[in-house]
Amino acid sequence: MDEKNFVVGVDVGGQTTKLGVVDARGEVLAQSVIRTDTYGDDAEAYIAALAEAIKQVVEEAGKKGEIRGVGVGAPNGNYYTGAIAFAPNLEWAAKGSVEFSKLLSKKLNGIPVSLTNDANAAAVGEMTYGVARGMKNFIMITLGTGVGSGIVINGQVVYGHDGFAGELGHTCVVRNNGRTCGCGKQGCLEAYCSAIGVAKTAREWLESSNEPSLLRECDSITSKDVFEAAKEGDALALRVFEYTGTLLGRQFADFVAFSAPEAIVLFGGLARAKEFLYEPILNAMNENLLAIWKGKVKILFSQLKESDAAILGASALAWEL
Amino acid sequence: MDEKNFVVGVDVGGQTTKLGVVDARGEVLAQSVIRTDTYGDDAEAYIAALAEAIKQVVEEAGKKGEIRGVGVGAPNGNYYTGAIAFAPNLEWAAKGSVEFSKLLSKKLNGIPVSLTNDANAAAVGEMTYGVARGMKNFIMITLGTGVGSGIVINGQVVYGHDGFAGELGHTCVVRNNGRTCGCGKQGCLEAYCSAIGVAKTAREWLESSNEPSLLRECDSITSKDVFEAAKEGDALALRVFEYTGTLLGRQFADFVAFSAPEAIVLFGGLARAKEFLYEPILNAMNENLLAIWKGKVKILFSQLKESDAAILGASALAWEL
């Protein structure tokens, strides 16, 4: 049995790294988690620990010698170069470029490693195992701490000239006096429609009025608090989601004008607020679409478990190795 | 000599249709022009006249029986369906869908016909014979009566799920109180940065001030008048181009965040104002780009003759038949 019929998927997050052994049908045979944030700026130490964890999980799955490759999704992961560069949430890759694929492959005795950014990996996961199964043209939007995106055209993830395509969270949604985004620009979609953006909208609105709201009882408001308050029927919290959805929908209309996707798929923590986001997104998008697209582009919400989607998406990358 | 080593390129414009016989090296062996706008709403009459003109130009080139296929670029031309539908500037296709490829192929005794929109055809022309030669990732922006676009990713024109991808002229550049665009939406790029948009900006600014300007001598201002005045050093005309370039540059930054192109290529009548547009575009784009792209994306101006680029681009489509 010399054939290599299994792959490993790795999802590198700011705090934890999830990894799993996956078979050709997309079943996760064994999985594991390590910390991402306990290695300071020592990239080699992190990569050594990751290689060790991969060996262990492969052993656990009983697939030693049968791994075809490792697929990795990581913030700022570049598909072309195999490097992670200037990733603000990864201390060991925040200030320079780490030759991630090369270093990890070396530690794994030459097993090939393929890298992409986390949103692209999620898009591949969704296309292979999720609501975008069978779709050739869709856009994945990840609504988490930030707003990420993975764009699929003709069944292929778009990497662009330099490997960094698909930064839709940093397109401009508020032109004048927009909020300053973490990236330093003003008015980015991410500054308004990420988990942090939603919490900020709520805080701004509470400060600028005396409207009663359940949120006034919270010490430091998070997007989860806004979600809980909206479920209780809190008027201000409900309006925060309506506003967030409206901004998303407007921006989605411009994305549709670019690549004419069959669907836009939402994923990530904030996408759990589907009941409050779906209608405003759909309405604002359709209001801003050309007639040829009105009522024709689907807004879908991922149904994969977040950790599974990321591991599966990253692993799908490894099949191409 | 039974091999078919020649193609025909057809560029359908609102007023005239240009066509030519092209060889594998991109040389136009013979070309011709017919009217587009003298057939009322009778699509069949126009297509019959076009077929006749194609036969004549092929005869003139001495390539009867050697034509592999016909490539057509037309407003609202759909690559997937071969139809032209709801094209406001083509009277015979303004109110419904015309099965263009099928009808034309029939009139040409079965020679295959491939159709796409005019901006996509121009992009293919630029990639095959122009400043985008050798580029796999670029965006073509046509600045004419309207603002069109053709997007190339991985060396392929992006058609999207339905064949209508690349309507970047109808993305939103002014969010609040934006001008009404010909498409019915507000604040579209086309409403500001087309030839018509430039003339409108000049007229609005003249009406709202008493600033002296050469343009006050014109009866009905066109973008060409603004261009001529700018060349004379007219301050208001120069500011109109600066404003137009700034809006284009801002919007280009968002396009870069989508597909990370190597270059954005400008084409069409208004692109002749390169001397006034280049700097404001480049500055506004770089101001609005993420750090990873600042100073890295080229702004190029087409150097192909407009009619050649369109014929060549459309003809390139026919080689794939």
Model pLDDT for residues B123-166, shown as the tens digit of each residue = 998 998 889 999 999 999 999 889 999 999 999 999 999 999 99
- What's the residue count for chain B? 321
pLDDT at B162: 95
Chain B residues within 8 A of A162 when measuring between CB atoms: 260, 292-293, 296
Whether residue B175 is found in the same domain as residue B29: no
Candidates B153, B180, B192, partner chain A, best to mutate (most A CBs within 10 A)? B153
Cβ atoms within 10 A of the Cβ of A209, count?
Answer: 10
* Highest mean predicted confidence (pLDDT) among A22-26, A80-84, B308-312: A80-84
Whether residue B213 is found in the same domain as residue B283: yes
Tell me the pLDDT tens digit for each residue of A304-320. Answer: 876 677 789 899 889 87
Whether residue B106 is found in the same domain as residue B75: yes
| B166 lies within 8 A of chain A by CB | yes
The amino acid at A115: L
pLDDT at A23: 92
pLDDT above 80 for B306: no
Whether residue B120 is found in the same domain as residue B189: no
| B175 lies within 8 A of chain A by CB | yes
Q: How far, in Å, CA of A158 to CA of A150, rounded?
A: 7
Instruction: With CB atoms and an 8 Å threshold, state whether A258 touches B166.
Output: yes
Shortest CA gap A53–chain B (Å): 32
Tell me the pLDDT tens digit for each residue of B265-291. Answer: 999 889 999 999 999 999 999 999 999
Whether residue A182 is found in the same domain as residue A285: yes
Q: Which residue has tokens 């985008």?
A: B132
Report if residue A186 sits inside a domain: yes
Domain at B193, CATH number:
3.30.420.40
Chain A residues within 8 A of B295 when measuring between CB atoms: none
Cβ atoms within 10 A of the Cβ of A109, count?
Answer: 8
Among A154, A185, A255, whose Cβ lies nearest the Cβ of B156? A154
Q: Quick one: which of B249, B257, B267, B247 has its CA closest to B309?
A: B267
Instruction: With CB atoms and an 8 Å threshold, state whether B86 touches A160.
Output: no
Question: What count of CB pairs under 8 Å joins A to B?
Answer: 118
Whether residue A139 is found in the same domain as residue A73: no
Which residue in chain A has the smallest CA separation from B78?
Answer: A292
Q: Which residue has tokens 């430091």?
A: A220
* Confidence tier at A88 by pLDDT (50, 70, 90): confident
Instruction: With CB atoms and an 8 Å threshold, state whether A171 touches B254.
Output: yes
Q: How far, in Å, CA of B81 to CA of B94, rounded?
A: 17
Among A159, A167, A262, whose Cβ lies nearest the Cβ of B257? A167
Cross-strand partners of A240: none
Whether residue A183 is found in the same domain as residue A261: yes
Torsion of CA B63, B129, B307, B315, to 10 degrees: 40
Whether residue A140 is found in the same domain as residue A98: no
| B282 lies within 8 A of chain A by CB | no
Whether residue B201 is found in the same domain as residue B277: yes
pLDDT at B110: 96
* Confidence tier at A1 by pLDDT (50, 70, 90): very low
The amino acid at B33: V
| A45 lies within 8 A of chain B by CB | no
Structure tokens at B186: 């507000």
Q: How far, in Å, CA of A43 to CA of A46, rounded?
A: 5
Chain A residues within 8 A of B183 when measuring between CB atoms: 290-291
Whether residue A212 is found in the same domain as residue A248: yes
pLDDT at A3: 79
Please name the residues in contact with B89: beta carbons below 8 A apart, sequence gap of 6 or more.
Answer: B14, B75, B145
Q: Quick one: which of B207, B166, B167 has its CA closest to B190?
A: B167
Among B154, B162, B260, whose Cβ lies nearest the Cβ of A260? B162
Instruction: With CB atoms and an 8 Å threshold, state whether B257 touches A154.
Output: no
Report if residue B291 sits inside a domain: yes
Which residue in chain B has the smallest CA separation from A250?
Answer: B172
Whether residue A284 is found in the same domain as residue A178: yes
Report if residue B1 sits inside a domain: no
Instruction: With CB atoms and an 8 Å threshold, state whether A161 touches B261.
Output: yes
Chain B residues within 8 A of A172 when measuring between CB atoms: 250, 253-254, 288
CA–CA distances in Å: residue B270 to residues A143, B148, B173, B193: 39, 12, 18, 9
The amino acid at B107: K
pLDDT at A2: 57
* Confidence tier at B1 by pLDDT (50, 70, 90): very low
Contacts with A, B 292-311, CB within 8 Å: 292-293, 296
Tell me the pLDDT tens digit for each residue of B246-266. Answer: 999 999 999 999 999 999 999
What is the domain count for chain A? 2
Which residue in chain A has the smallest CA separation from B298?
Answer: A161
Among B156, B172, B293, whose Cβ lies nearest the Cβ of A288? B172
CA–CA distances in Å: residue A271 to residues A222, B144, B258: 15, 41, 21
- Complex ipTM more than 0.95, yes or no: no
Chain B residues within 8 A of A185 when measuring between CB atoms: 288, 290
* Confidence tier at A136 by pLDDT (50, 70, 90): very high
Shortest CA gap A309–chain B (Å): 23
Among B153, B261, B262, whose Cβ lies nearest the Cβ of A153? B153
CA–CA distances in Å: residue B179 to residues A171, B167, B175, B244, B320: 21, 18, 10, 14, 40
Whether residue B95 is found in the same domain as residue B191: no
Shortest CA gap A149–chain B (Å): 9
Cβ atoms within 10 A of the Cβ of B10, count?
Answer: 28
HSE toward the beta carbon, residue A56, CA cutoff 13 A: 11
Report if residue B129 sits inside a domain: no
Report if residue B35 sits inside a domain: yes
Q: How far, in Å, CA of A179 to CA of A190, rounded?
A: 10
Q: Quick one: which of A233, A214, A13 has its CA closest to A119?
A: A13
Instruction: Name the residue range of residue B106's domain.
Output: 6-124+307-319
Report if residue A1 sits inside a domain: no
Structure tokens at B197: 């948009």
Report if residue A278 sits inside a domain: yes
Report if residue A169 sits inside a domain: yes
Chain A residues within 8 A of B290 when measuring between CB atoms: 167, 170, 183, 185
